[in-house]
Chains A and B, each alone.
Chain A
Amino acid sequence: MGSYLSNTPEEQRRMLHEIGFDSFDALFSHIPEEVKTGELKLPDGMSEMEAFGRIEEMADKNVRFRHIFRGAGAYNHYIPAIVKSVSAKEEFVTAYTPYQAEISQGILQSIFEYQTMICELTGMDAGNASVYDGGTAAAEAAAMCRERGRQTVLVSAAVHPQVIEVVRTYCYGSNTKVVLIPEKDGATDVEALRRNLNETSACFLMQYPNYYGIIEDAGLLGTIVHEAGAKFIMGCNPIALAVLKSPAECGADIAVGEGHPLGLGLAFGGPYLGFMAARDRMVRKLPGRIVGETLDREGARAFVLTLQAREQHIRREKASSNICSNQALCALTAGVYLAAMGAQGLKQAASLCISKAHYLQRKLEEAGLYLKYAQPFFHEFVTVSEKRSDDILAALQKEGFLGGLPVNDHEILWCATEKNTREEMDRLAAIVKEVSHEADI
């Protein structure tokens, strides 16, 4: 019974007759009988109210944690109200890719502004309109670096495991060799990196802060990579970039990252936002849409999709990537978030993340969970405990806490953000302390 058609059955019959058909069967009579399908085995349609009820039931089957201390690539940040209000505007939501510049200036300008903000955060010269997520951004960046003779992609083992997997999958496609550089004490093993770099190395990908939350010496890694003539790719947390040495200052050729912390929410992992920015000399290798400023016929400021000679609809198999739909609305959302936070607000968010995470770490240490790596960290860190990770996390879950991600039986990766209060961290530590002191059964 559900339908979004505007033509009534009577109107449909009139239209069919006007163009010479007496039924829908006649309209489809040119389709060979042998491929026509019988009635689909689908449930009956329903009203909007019923459908929404069904979906609500599904949402209710999930557990919404009031207190979240898990990150590992998905971070629980505060989203300013203005962000949701702007990104829900129907014009932005229901438009297509802005091919027709004359009636798409709003979308084009929002992307141009987003590109500028990503350049500011990373210190790079130019960014694209977005890719699917942080993982595909890393994989696309690696693809940008391949050139004759340099076909091997080096990746730090301290990069998010799912990002590594996405890079591997893309490299399986392009028949590119991936070399994993081991970690040492939670960070890239610098000597191993040196040993593995050679004249066949296309690039090295590191994460900043890395999967374990550690802020590696990116400047040093960049220098080593460049000495071997390879490109240096940094996968970055955009909020951390408000206070950390920028990718440009660390010598990055390409900066990428997962942009979902910029106002997109957890959303069971998507839609998220892959951001990409590069030095001028690599701009024409960037994948996907790029918006540029120009003038219209009357000399007024105008924005258009540009450098399209890189793209699939022009270059087909020679394109820099196959991407067309990206995450435009997510990029717009990130733009609104960055406008609402401003430089001051973003730095405050970063500082709060640092202070809260360090407070949490101290409280957990008092509760018997010890810091695994003696390294500077941003808003995530790994603890080691005598107690089993599962026991600790189960006790927390019972009290409405989503604890850190279990790395193994006795190690947990924790995260704190500006949303976590002192009060809840104290409570979390108290629960952990209680479990720690319970005798093992």
Chain B
Amino acid sequence: MKLIFERGMEGQRCTILPDCDVPEICLDVPGRGLPLRLPHVSENEISRHYTELAGQVHGVNNGFYPLGSCTMKYNPKVNEEAAALPGFTDIHPLQPEDTVQGCMKVLDAAKQMLLEITGMDDMTMQPAAGAHGEFTGLLLIKAYHDSRGDKKRTKIIVPDSAHGTNPASAAMAGFEVVNIPSGEDGCVDLEKLREAAGEDTAGLMLTNPNTVGLFDKNILAITSIVHEAGGLAYYDGANLNAVMGIARPGDMGFDVMHINLHKTFSTPHGGGGPGSGPVGCKAFLKEFLPGLQPAKSEAGYTFTAPRRSVGRVKMFYGNFLVVVKALTYLLVLGREGVRDASRNAVLNANYMMRKLQDIYPMAYPETCMHEFVMCLENMKHDADVTAMDVAKALLDYGIHPPTMYFPLIVHEALMVEPTETESRETLDEAIRAFREIYDCAKKDALRLHEAPVHAYIRRPDEVQAARKPVLRYFFPDAVRNPAQ
């Protein structure tokens, strides 16, 4: 379809702003010499353009979205209404404290509920996403060791099954990454961990349940090995949706963690953000937290800066409106709802896994948590059908494919996370689709290589895109400067 630059015509425009009601000033500084080429479109053209674009997007609202590790649950609409209240959207972040008591209450109320769910002692809402939270948490670990004059702790241990953000965040925080191989069972190999942990260990980063969907039974042993070596344990909250009201990272021995509000707490993902990645920590780390913290007193809330803060990781107070959405969700769910969400997420995952395991080999066949990983190596070997082919075939069923080729320790991996908000009916339809694709792989593999055929485009040429990057639209010379 057309780009917005290819729509409309010179002179077409929206009339948004009024004439100037004060004397017009011309600045005595060098002005812009470059032409400014922006779309020249009427409001109707804009509306049609984006409606057409929206028609080429698959959101949670359009259909099943079992994208592993991303927790694509339904995004309640009341969250959106709450975040659109003018009492939030029109508030300047630098207003006097006595005029933002409501915003501070939102931050504090969300924090208190999240602390109870995670078993942590304090929390910052400043990080804007999960990876940003990881970076923040690692800075807390760094500041802790620094504060003790313990300069030799330069290494972060990361299992080879970890999300890519873990090692990337550790590197950004100035640590060296020590990758340890997972055991045959997909969990942490305690021997390997003992070998890796030592005087130079700053900490360990881990998810539990891990990236293959299993709850690591040795979790207490794992965190105590790290603690005995003098390191701290970081919990990657990407998979928190499996354990709310069931087990708490704080009780597993973790010292610091992040939460993805846009995964676990139902705030929408926006096609790639804005998310929110609050960081929780145990009491001994709270003095290092970034930004300002709302503190409650009799007179109301005031902002205070932690004593030995690592410094801000973002301007102001984080993605505030996302926190409003998460709080709305938490209020609705409450004690039982939170636990029921995790229970049903785990039930849905196990149900799908059991109904597919006869034809799709599972990387780890035991009871899973909120997601499971299939290994399609046999299918690739026998029928020349890859995980990618199966994923693309699902598109033609109106299903968003599972996460592909992750975790890296499973070959031809498809990672399926149904989430708790899907009905059995939806799961059964998806199971039927998977089974039909399996039959097709045996009979007519070529057809799968061609998939998708009903999506908005066919498979794109990604190699060409990377080899000769075209990263912006180039205006034809004829309309080079429509303003002139």
A423, closest chain B residue (CB):
B21
A-side interface size class: 35 or more
Shortest Cβ distance from residue A72 to the other chain B in the assembled complex, whole angstroms: 6
Contact B55 A106 (CB under 8 A): yes
Q: What would 12 more interface pairs be, CB under 8 Å, given A270-B93, A270-B314?
A: A45-B336, A48-B332, A62-B99, A73-B94, A93-B75, A94-B268, A126-B469, A317-B168, A317-B177, A342-B14, A344-B483, A355-B22
Shortest Cβ distance from residue A130 to the other chain B in the assembled complex, whole angstroms: 7
Shortest Cβ distance from residue B473 to the other chain A in the assembled complex, whole angstroms: 4
B117, closest chain A residue (CB):
A40
Contact A351 B312 (CB under 8 A): no
Contact stretch, chosen from B46-54, B189-197, B378-386, B440-448: B46-54
A338 at the interface (CB under 8 A from B): yes
Contact A304 B460 (CB under 8 A): yes
Residues on the A chain within 8 Å of B461, using CB: 294-297, 302
Indicate whether A95 sits within 8 Å of B57 (C-beta atoms), given known contacts A48-B332, A59-B87, A62-B88: yes
Q: How far is the CA of A418 from the CA of B163 in the complex (A)?
A: 45
Contact B312 A166 (CB under 8 A): yes
B297 at the interface (CB under 8 A from A): no
Contact stretch, chosen from A191-199, A223-231, A245-253: A245-253
Contact B465 A169 (CB under 8 A): no
B 343-366 contacts with A by CB, 8 A: 343-344, 346-348, 350-351, 354-355, 366
Q: How far is the CA of A144 from the CA of B319 in the complex (A)?
A: 24
Interface string of A89-130 (1 = CB under 8 A from B): 111111111111111111101111101110111010111011
Residues on the B chain within 8 Å of A95, using CB: 57-60, 269-271
B180 at the interface (CB under 8 A from A): no
Residues on the A chain within 8 Å of B131, using CB: 312, 322-325
A107, closest chain B residue (CB):
B271
Interface string of B264-287 (1 = CB under 8 A from A): 001011111111000000000000
Cβ 8 A contact of A245, one of B32, B52, B315, B470: B32
Contact stretch, chosen from A7-15, A179-187, A364-372, A430-438: A7-15
Contact A174 B16 (CB under 8 A): no
A 124-175 contacts with B by CB, 8 A: 125-127, 129-130, 132-136, 143, 160, 162-163, 165-166, 168-170, 172-175
Q: How far is the CA of A36 from the CA of B246 in the complex (A)?
A: 6
B 20-70 contacts with A by CB, 8 A: 20-25, 27-34, 36-41, 43, 46-47, 49-62, 65, 67, 70
B229 at the interface (CB under 8 A from A): no
B-side interface residues, number (CB < 8 Å): 195
Q: How far is the CA of A390 from the CA of B158 in the complex (A)?
A: 51
Residues on the A chain within 8 Å of B145, using CB: none
B425, closest chain A residue (CB):
A6
Interface string of A264-279 (1 = CB under 8 A from B): 0111111110000000
Contact A115 B32 (CB under 8 A): no
B307 at the interface (CB under 8 A from A): no
Interface string of B232-254 (1 = CB under 8 A from A): 00000000000001111001100
Cβ 8 A contact of B458, one of A42, A296, A328: A296
